[in-house]
Amino acid sequence: MSVLPVLRLPDPVLKRAGIPVGEITADVMQLCADLVETMRASPACVGLAAPQVGVSLRIFCVDVTGHGKARSCHGPVVLVDPEVVAAGTAVSGREGCMSVPDLTGDVARATELVIRGRTPEGVDRVLQVDAFEARAFQHELDHLDGLLFLDRVTSGRLFPRRVYR
Amino acid sequence: MPLSAVLAVGADRPGIVAAVTGALAAAGANLDDTSMTILHGHFAIAMVVAAPGGLDVAAVLAPVAERLALTVDVRPIAAGTPAAPPGSRWSLAVYGADRPGLVASVTAVVADAGANVIDLTTRVVGGPDRPVYAMQLELAVPSEVDAGALGDRLRAAAAGLGVDCTLTAVDPDVL
């Protein structure tokens, strides 16, 4: 396993839609493991999508364990070729992204979500998520469509990220 | 490239942004942070411009200003000026029946506490017979400032003004 570099804007891979994975090969399993390891390498990171590490494939991982805003929590989840089955009402919240340094913006996300995909082992999985976990899944799903939170800012305003000093 | 703060305002019409930014781009200047909005029929541009050393930004904008009847002000920004003040981010919403001095009273409480307004938008809504004033502020609250106490003082001030006020921690989720 290895920690991969996380791409940032204006890298064009971030704006490219991911290709469906289909058959899960040894390379795909390796990528899934690397995504999780890369996510864990950044303490604040709760999710990472394959395009963020330069691979245009429809894979992401999410882990909201221990996050203060989480209600549902499925622990570390890796989904291959995920798709939304059902989405509830959207609520606005401030978001940032590892691939978009220094900016945050308000993005409306469904607070309840049913999502389907396959595990790296090829097992079908359907997850019902809410609150922060739902937001994280939708943020990562967007990465698979070449969308960043910047594409979804509702208020038309961008804010500088907090400056620590 | 040295930075300048540029302000431009004038009666709104199509093409103001295109003309102002077009003149800057043609002169080799580059836009940094900007905020541009329409304010009751006037268009207001506030922006930071990075211009090649020696370029007179005011002179570059003078023909556009004259053609579109814009008031333009240009001032240099000292090198090394931080982009934004430090501190945790808070969102402050204040709204209620319009009366003179609302913004002054609320922001005086913020300033007295040592916190910084980093974004402020106000709109007058409702009919002329019952105007409602709505303010939305983003604050930077330095770590040494007690945000809870600031909230208490803001609520007290708002109560005295007969308006509602909510201070909420902005806690961006970096995903």
Percent of chain B at pLDDT exceeding 90: 81
> Quick check: A43 contacting B, CB < 8 Å?
no
Q: Is A159 within 8 Å of B119 when comparing Cβ atoms?
A: yes
Name every chain A residue with its beta carbon within 8 A of the beta carbon of B175: 45-47, 95-98, 135-136, 139-140, 149
Average pLDDT value for residue range B48-71: 96
Residues in chain A: 165
Percent of chain A at pLDDT exceeding 70: 96
Q: What is the DSSP letter of A99?
A: T
- Cβ atoms of A74 and A127 closer than 8 Å: yes
Which of A15-24, A152-161, B67-76, B152-161 is predicted with the least confidence, judged by mean pLDDT?
A152-161
- Residue A2's alpha-carbon distances to A8, A34, A54, A82, B163, in angstroms, are 19, 5, 14, 23, 55
Please tell me the distance from the alpha carbon of residue B35 to that of residue B17, in angstroms, as a whole number. 11
Residue A162 binned pLDDT confidence (cut-offs 50, 70, 90): low
By DSSP bridging, strand B116-125 and strand B164-169 are: unpaired
Average pLDDT value for residue range A156-162: 72
Q: What is the Cα A154 distance to its own chain's centre?
A: 19
Name every chain B residue with its beta carbon within 8 A of the beta carbon of A161: 172, 174
> Quick check: B69 contacting A, CB < 8 Å?
no
Among B41, B33, B45, B40, which residue's Cα sits nearest to residue B7?
B45
Q: Is B173 within 8 Å of A157 when comparing Cβ atoms?
A: no
- Cβ atoms of A55 and A35 closer than 8 Å: no
> Quick check: B144 contacting A, CB < 8 Å?
no
Q: Cα angle at A140 between B171 and B175, to 5 degrees?
A: 25
Average pLDDT value for residue range A99-113: 91
pLDDT at A164 over 60: no
More confidently predicted of B173 and B31: B31
Which of B4-13, B71-80, B124-133 is predicted with the least confidence, judged by mean pLDDT?
B124-133
Report the greatest alpha carbon distance in chain A. Answer: 48
Please tell me the distance from the alpha carbon of residue B34 to that of residue B4, in angstroms, as a whole number. 12
Q: Is B138 within 8 Å of A159 when comparing Cβ atoms?
A: yes
> Quick check: B132 contacting A, CB < 8 Å?
no
Name the residue of chain B whose CA is nearest to A105's CA.
Answer: B172
Point out the residue among B87, B140, B173 whose CB comes nearest to the CB of A96: B173
Residues paired with A90 in a beta bridge: A110
Residue A126 binned pLDDT confidence (cut-offs 50, 70, 90): very high
Residues paired with A46 in a beta bridge: none
More confidently predicted of A158 and B51: B51
pLDDT at A102 over 90: no
pLDDT at A61 over 60: yes
Which of A46-55, A61-70, A139-148, A153-162 is predicted with the least confidence, judged by mean pLDDT?
A153-162
A111's tokens: 């607070």
**Chain pair A-B, CB pairs under 8 angstroms:** 61
Residue A137 binned pLDDT confidence (cut-offs 50, 70, 90): very high
pTM of this prediction? 0.81
pLDDT score at B64: 98
Q: Is B85 within 8 Å of A162 when comparing Cβ atoms?
A: no
Q: Is A46 within 8 Å of B82 when comparing Cβ atoms?
A: no
The answer to whether ipTM exceeds 0.90 is no
Q: Is B136 exposed, middle or buried (0-12, 13-18, 19+ CB in 10 A)?
A: middle
Residue A165 binned pLDDT confidence (cut-offs 50, 70, 90): very low
pLDDT at A110 over 80: yes
Q: Is A96 within 8 Å of B83 when comparing Cβ atoms?
A: no
pLDDT at A42 over 50: yes
Name the residue of chain B whose CA is nearest to A141's CA.
Answer: B175
pLDDT at A97 over 90: yes
Name the residue of chain B whose CA is nearest to A45's CA.
Answer: B175
